[in-house]
Structure 1
Amino acid sequence: MSFVRTVLGDVRPEDLGVCDAHDHLFFASPQLPGQELRSVSAARAELAAFRAQGGSAVVQWTPYGLGRRAADLPPLSRETGVHLVAATGLHQSVHYDDGTLAGLRDRLADVFVHELTEGIGTSGIRAGLIKIAGGFHALDAHARWTMTAAAEAHHATGAPIAVHHELGTGVLDVLDLLCDELAVPAHRVILGHLNRNPDSVVHRQAAESGAYLAFDGPSRANHATDWRMPDAVRALADAGFGDRLLLGGDTTTAAARSVAGGPGMPYLLRRVRPRLEVALGEELVHRILTENPGHAFGVDWR
């Protein structure tokens, strides 16, 4: 039987409820100085605002070494009534110093497996997914290393693998590596940021592989992708891939939180959901927010 591994224990996929399939409560990177997501009180307020819009689950894609604050997640989940899923994994190399990467060089897959089965650090909180990242239109040596380790950890545990795609690019290269070379079943792969590169041909090819496609996070004005997203999602649904789609918010900076005046987690349900309901209908959007995340993150854990 499949279960979604939350910070309070495993839950049935059908009990996940309305899910933000890609977001961050805590995140700290040298690439975003001064915009760290570190405040527990702000995270609590953000979850409460998401809950007030009808949300009941958030999958946090913050991986190893980027300020996950795993020990703070269970009390936040209890206090707000929102299921939380934590991640293991590793982001692009620019987010880490050389010493951190050198220390993981020969044990990365073991770290992933430990955090999925035993717990993150000394917290005892088990991760529910592996988050990794590709590059801009290509996969460098770091991406290949992390994806190889993620595949090994998947084969040991069954855990899903969620992939950050830089501006939505490199999707087919990721599938070639993970699924063709490393034998990860496509239905265990979640392709992030497909909204950032609205290429309908690539979207269709990715969906045909059996992977999940995540449309996650409002774009900046110069990306000009938000208005294309409903049509892209509708095209995939019309082609029979409505069960492959996920939605998320991807809040990565303090200024982007709703409690700081940004869109934040509530934006997914306050603005994105009704806009998609116009294009797809309420029933399909509800299934994308509830059933699909349960299937994508639900695992028969080994």
Structure 2
Amino acid sequence: MVQVSTVRGPIDTAELGRTYMHEHVFVMTTEVQQNYPEEWDGEDERVADAVNKLKELAAQGVRTIVDPTVIGLGRYIPRIQRVANQVPELNIVVATGCYTYSDVPFYFVGRGPGLKALVGAEVPDPMVDMFVRDIEEGIADTEVRAGVLKCAIDEPGLTPGVERVMRAVARAHHRTGIPITVHTHPGSGSGLVVKRVMCDEEGVESNRIVLGHSGDTTDVDHLTELAEEGFVLGMDRFGGYLGITFEAKANTLVEMCRRGYAGQMVLSHDTACYIDWFDPAYFRLAPQWHYLHLGEEVLPFVRERGVTEEQITTMLVDVPRRYFETAASHSSSI
């Protein structure tokens, strides 16, 4: 039996159960919060709020969430440990990587490839070793190991910084076998860029990559193309409907199931217990953006339109398990 790293330690993939593949616990602009902490309300209060919300999710029958919070999103593992230890009925898989739509953080500008112009030769990217250490040894001074690699490409496209992170993630994957999730922007066709860089050029197998936010488009022909390439499609922003309606997102899921691609999709909300990217007033405009929305509204809607219980189990249990088992089997052979 292969194992997956979680906050409380490794578990067999059979223990993953119903899995939401893209949920955050805390997303923070750390430097702002450290200097202007007024909105935070206190560490104990935020942790208690997260515990309550995740217990409600577990009560729906969800057994695992993947939290792709990495550098650029305010990852702080000791806080996640506090939460996880109080919700033993829920597994939390954390990630390593770097989140940017444009440039790498300044820390990396003068290190690794950024030095080529000065020294006249290629310099190894320290990101790769950092990501591998998170996977093999633990994150920071904890024993929590990352179970997923994360990078991003959004509407700005393949900027030099985005490409550098993407290649670093691919190379860390080859050293560890850990699977990859990529924040994508389907409206600009960025999934095909992922294919070119990570698969064609870096040699990552497409079935080891989740193309996050694939459900942000209603172009089912484009999604079909990506599924035919072998990617796992993240239909993972249910609840955030400012750019696309609930019905449009849900009907896209229905159509992809009708076309036979339930075995290549995973589901989630991409929500958080706390995210400081938006004024709190924003959430009054997005009342469905919470952990319970899939169970309470999305699944009943798609069931009524022909999505079967077998297909739902496939997307929520079988595909996540296969995704981790395939990568873990690869890791044991390298």
TM-score normalized by structure 2? 0.81
Rate the CA distance shift 1:35–1:62 in 2: closer, same or farther, 3 A: farther
Does the 8 A contact of 2:239 with 2:289 survive in 1? no
**Residue 164 of structure 1 aligns with which residue?**
183
Q: Once the two structures are superposed, what CA deviation does each residue of 1:32-69 show, in whole Å capped at 9, x if it has no partner?
A: 98887972122111111111222111100101253222
> For 2:300, which of 247, 271, 274 is the aligned residue?
274
Deviation at 1:179, TM superposition (A): 0.7
Rate the CA distance shift 1:212–1:137 in 2: closer, same or farther, 3 A: farther
Between Structure 1 and Structure 2, whose CA radius of gyration is higher?
A: 2
Supply the RMSD in Å over aligned alpha carbons: 2.9
**Residue 320 of structure 2 aligns with which residue?**
293
Does the 8 A contact of 1:134 with 1:166 survive in 2? yes
Which segments of 5 or more consecutive residues in structure 1 lack a partner in the other structure?
none
Q: Once the two structures are superposed, what CA deviation does each residue of 1:145-202 show, in whole Å capped at 9, x if it has no partner?
A: 0110011000000011100013654111111111111100011000000111221121
Pairing of 1:51-90 with structure 2 (within 5 A): 51-80=58-87, 81-90=89-98
Q: Distance in 2 between matches of 1:157 and 1:35?
A: 39
> For 2:153, which of 131, 134, 152 is the aligned residue?
134
**Residue 236 of structure 1 aligns with which residue?**
256
Which shows bigger deviation, 21-30 or 124-133?
A: 21-30
Does the 8 A contact of 2:67 with 2:95 survive in 1? yes
Aligned length in residues: 301
Q: Once the two structures are superposed, what CA deviation does each residue of 1:222-280 show, in whole Å capped at 9, x if it has no partner?
A: 4124312233223322333211110011115265889x976321222222222222231
Say whether 1:117 aligns with 2:136: yes
Deviation at 1:6, TM superposition (A): 1.3
Say whether 1:16 aligns with 2:36: no
Aligned sequence identity (%) = 27
Does the 8 A contact of 1:134 with 1:164 survive in 2? yes
Which shows bigger deviation, 174-183 or 245-254?
A: 245-254
Q: Distance in 2 between matches of 1:201 and 1:174?
A: 18
Rate the CA distance shift 1:206–1:295 in 2: closer, same or farther, 3 A: same
Q: Secondary structure at the match of 2:86?
A: helix
Rate the CA distance shift 1:243–1:95 in 2: closer, same or farther, 3 A: same
**Residue 243 of structure 2 aligns with which residue?**
223
Q: Distance in 1 between matches of 2:108 and 2:185?
A: 22
Does the 8 A contact of 2:239 with 2:288 survive in 1? no
Q: Distance in 2 between matches of 1:128 and 1:12?
A: 13
Which segments of 5 or more consecutive residues in structure 2 lack a partner in the other structure?
115-124
Q: Secondary structure at the match of 1:86?
A: strand
> For 1:180, which of 192, 195, 200 is the aligned residue?
200
Deviation at 1:30, TM superposition (A): 7.2
Q: Secondary structure at the match of 1:240?
A: coil
Rate the CA distance shift 1:35–1:194 in 2: closer, same or farther, 3 A: farther
